[in-house]
Each structure stands twice: as structure tokens, then as C-alpha cells.
Structure 1
Amino acid sequence: MSAPTTTPIPEGAEKATLAAGCFWGVEHAFRQQFSGKGLYDARVGYIGGDTADPSYKAVCSGNTGHAEATQLIYDPARLTFPQLVEFFYRMHDPTTRNQQGPDRGTQYRSGIFFHTPEQEAAARAVTARANAQWWGGRIVTEILPARQWWDAEDYHQEYLTKNPYGYECPSHEVRPFPELK
């Protein structure tokens, strides 16, 4: 079973929690893009549902209400929440409800789970710009308050680093969009 996260958070660090389909590829993409640039850690897990202590099998059933998600711990002096959200919109398809590529179900939905009012405001602002400039008004990403986070089982953590030929959702690619204005 999963467990609430116990990873210590460095002094002054902040959390960002994002869901963009299969969490293996999301975690891997954020590590590739931001390691050494203010990202302290990235964990995969479950959020957004009502089931306590969910397992991967239970989440995959679609009956828990949880999304597969990635929780990022970062240094806000080096990496901003808007930068993370902008990258989030570059690296997945936020226009398909409950789906990323061939992965279908509510656990694969696109979501931003904010931890502060400032994160909510930034998420809404970046979403509006990305919707207007990149995605033609089709973004279906949920923007919701973060509730209980559950770490996924250990074998899911850094899965694509441990299994470089493991499954990666084909919709997880960094798109070469122009800078948001």
C-alpha cells in the first residue's frame, strides 16, 4: 500500500502537485528538465480522490477518484511555480479529458493541485495564457486545492530511471511552443 509522504522538505522549499497522465513519464520529464536547476525532489503518487491509502491497482480501477500525479519539491528562489506550470503545459496534452495518449480513465486526468492562494492565481493565469496562445481554448485541466497526498509504491518512484526502456506515454513530449506572453 501507499503512504503519506515523509520526504523532508528543505527550509524555504515549496511543493507543486501536478497530474498529467501516467506518472512515470511526468516525473521523469520534470527531473530531466529541472534537476540541478532548483528541483530538489519529484515523487509519484495519488491525489484528488476520497480513498485512503490507495494502491496502484485500486487507482487503476478508476474507483478511487485519485489521479496519478507528481509532487515536486523545489527552491522558489531558483525555480518558480509559473515556470513549472508552463512546462507542465508543454510536456503533455491538456485537451483530452481523462486521457493521455492510449491511457484512459480518470486517473490519467490533467490537474493542477494548488497548495496556496498564490499557486492558484498563478495556475489560473498560466492556464489562461497557454489556452489562448498554445491550445486554442481546449484545455480541460482541473485546478483544485491539494488534499491528502499518497506516495505511490516504491517500485514506481524514478521508474524510468530504473527501467530506461519502460513504458512512457507517447503524449509526453516537450512541445517547442513560443514563450508565453
Structure 2
Amino acid sequence: MTKSVVNFFILLPLFIFNACGQNNNTIIKTTAMENVISKPENPYYSNTDTAKLVLTDEQWKKVLPPDLYAVARQADTERAFTGTMWKSETKGTYYCAACGLKLFKSDQKFVSSCGWPSFFEQDNKNSITFKDDNSYGMHRIEALCGRCDSHLGHLFDDGPEPTGKRYCMNAISLDFVPDAVANQNKGNLETITIGGGCYWCVEAVYENLTGVEKVVSGFSGGTVENPSYEEVCTGRTGAAEVVEITYDKTKTNLDEIFKVFFTVHDPTTLNRQGADVGTQYRSVIFYKNEEQKKAAESIIAELNKEVFNNKIVTTLEPFKAFYKAKDYHQNYYENNKNQPYCQMVIQPKLEKFEKVFKDRLKKKN
């Protein structure tokens, strides 16, 4: 670890943390976590979130361009043979242009003479839904995005084998990412799994750090495969509440990830953060390789020597598996800002984090 990192901690007072009171009956709407495509003007757009998205007409008008709004929300139809997408054979993935849901892969596409992008199969059974369309004196099957119910086009029975179907789509309703671009982006991404008490709090902080592409709350460690939240809460599974952080190595690094980690929780209290007590709240780093392990060992040794009066009790454990928590635990702060817990516990931590790391914050839309 660099000397500047040590100096940073010497000057930094420890944060004060409260307990994490969790209510698993909370109903929330999830928002974007990681995008292959960036649409800062549309905060609801996500290439990974599959939770149902329900917006008002006015909300859609604010985030969609007029031509896309006309097709996606008013079932307009673009002119045939518009652009090159209808005849393109480039390998890649097609997403809903309104909400980002993955709809098709290029190997499900065929060049049709109809003049619109055509596919014989959808990505999965939930990616596209259907309803009867009796407009214009015809009976057709309308195809809708499975996440946001945006109009995509129509389904016909004149496609090629093996399905015999033709998903006739409006090109404006589709976003396309070539495989070459997606693979290039993936080459810069790494993941690290850490636990510092309540995963709501840790997640909320890292979602605001430049270079972090995705933060997912869940569980690691222990002896139970894919434990439920209720099972982990008993403290008998050996699992810990953790966040899995995906970050871009060209924009941040392990030093910074760990700097934030040891800032936003107290690593000197054994199996405890505030009033949250138990091994499920332990301070832990699940390392996936020797680089992560050595980086963690280095920063802990330096902090024990230079900063903390009490010994750091953060455990270093080999990563075995990560189990994602249910949807209502994901992106909790962003979806529940008016909740008393978010205002009284998470918000003060975020404000301190933003003050200390003001030069490393993601730009707000």
C-alpha cells in the first residue's frame, strides 16, 4: 500500500455506525445497476435489472426521445427499410431501447424481406410478452418488452425453423451492442466480495464511487448453499452479509476499494457493527486470487501499525461462492430514501463518504 493511503487514514476519523434494522417486507422498485449501454438521461435504463418497471406516461416522456416515445409508448410503427439494422448480420446483443432489457442475441436473427429487424426466437421466456392487437381492422399479436411493456413490434407465424416465428421489430425500439465491444469492456472488469456489517449501507456507498460498475448485495461464506436471508440472520449458517463489487480496473483499483472499505465501517469490532451482532455481520474480505489476498494483507498490516488503536479483526477468507439476496434487498437506499432508516443511518454515512471522496464520486445525472 502506498504511503499516501496510510496518510489518508491517519488524518481520517473513524465513522460512527448505527445498527441495520431490516424489514424484508418492504416493496421496492429496482433501478439500474450496470449498463453495457450508457444512457444518463434515462435513470430507469438497465441492461441487467429484470424487475418489472412501471412508470407514468409523463415519466416516460421525460426520459425518451420523441421518436422512441411514439413507438415504445404509443405503438407507432417506423418506416420499413429504415437504417441498416434490418439487414445487419453483425454478432452481438439486442436490448430494449426504453429500459435496457436483453431481448435477442444475433444468432436468433435472420434477414427478412419485410424491411424490419426480424428474429425467430426471443432471449428467454420472460424477455417479451404478447397481447392481442385488433387495430386497423386486423388481428395481430403485439410484442411487448417483458420489463417495461414498451411496444416492440408484432409476432407472426411465417418465420424460419426451428420455431417458425417471425418477431418483426421496430429498429428504434432496439439497442445493439456488438460482441467485440462487450468483450472489450469485460476485459477491464474485476470483482471483489467484502462484508462490513449491513449490506445496505456498504452497497449505497460503493454505488457512488467512480469506476464501480455494479454492486450486488448477498451472502458468502458458511456451510449452507444459497441460504435465505432469514437463515443467515440466525447466525448459524456461517455466511456473512456482503456486497459483490464489479469495478473497472482502468478507473479504480484495489487500493481505493479497500480505502473506502476501511473508511465506511469499523474493522476493529469482532462480529459486530453497531447493534448488529453475529458472525453474519463480521468484517471480511473474500479474496479470489493472490493479488487480492496480498493487497488486503498489506493494507491491514499498515493500518494496524499506523492508524488503529485497536487491532483490526477483518478476516481474509478464500472466495467460494456468492449468493445474491432477493430483489427487495438490492439498491435499497436508492429505492427507499424516504424510509426513516435510510434517512437516519445510511444518509449520514453517504454524506461523510461524499465529503472524504469528493473527487472520486460519480457524476450525478
1:121 equivalent to 2:294? Answer yes
* Percent identity of paired positions between Structure 1 and Structure 2: 36
Pair 1:23-2:199 in alignment? yes
- Cα distance in 2 for residues equivalent to 1:21 and 1:55: 17
Matched residues in 1 for 2:230 and 2:222: separation? 14
* CA shift digits 1:107-154 (9 cap, x unpaired): 000001111111100010011112222212510000111111100111
**Partner Cα distance (1:16, 1:138) in 2:** 23
Rate the CA distance shift 1:70–1:120 in 2: closer, same or farther, 3 A.
Answer: same
Match of 2:270 in 1: 97
Encode CA deviations 1:7-61: one digit per residue, 9 max, x unaligned.
69833200011100010000001112x1xx2110000000011101110000001
Q: Point out 4+ residue stretches in structure 1 off by more than 3 angstroms.
A: 168-176
* TM-score, structure 2 normalization: 0.43
Distance 2:281 2:311 in 1: 17
8 Å contact kept, 1:86–1:130: no
The structure that has the greater radius of gyration is 2
Q: Residues 122-141 of structure 1 correspond to what in structure 2 (within 5 A)?
A: 122-141=295-314
Question: Unaligned stretches of 5+ in structure 1?
Answer: 1-6, 177-181
Q: Can you give the 5+ residue segments of structure 2 that lack an aligned partner in the other structure?
A: 1-47, 49-181, 357-365
Deviations 1:67-87 (A, max 9, x none): 000110001111101210111
TM-score with structure 1 setting the length: 0.85
One-letter amino acid of the structure 2 residue matched with residue 167 of structure 1? Y
The CA distance in 1 between the partners of 2:256 and 2:249, in whole Å, is: 10
Equivalent residue of 1:57, what SS? helix
Equivalent residue pairs, number = 167
Residues 160 and 166 of structure 1 are in contact (CA less than 8 Å); yes or no, is this contact kept in structure 2? no
Q: Which one of 192, 202, 219 corresponds to residue 46 of structure 1? A: 219
Higher RCO by CA contacts (8 Å cutoff, separation 6 or greater):
1
2:255 pairs with 65, 73, 82, which one? 82
User: Structure 2 matches for 1:168-179, cutoff 5 A?
Assistant: 174=353
- TM-superposed deviation, 1:166: 5.1
Between the aligned partners of 1:69 and 1:128, the Cα distance in structure 2 is 22
**Backbone CA RMSD of aligned residues:** 2.2
Distance (whole Å) between structure 2 residues aligned to residue 166 and residue 97 of structure 1: 27
2:186 corresponds to 1:13: no
* Pair 1:116–1:166, CA change in 2 (3 A): farther
Matched residue, 2:22: none
State the AA in 2 paired with 1:11.
G
Q: Measure, in 1, the Cα distance between the counterparts of 2:340 and 2:300.
A: 30
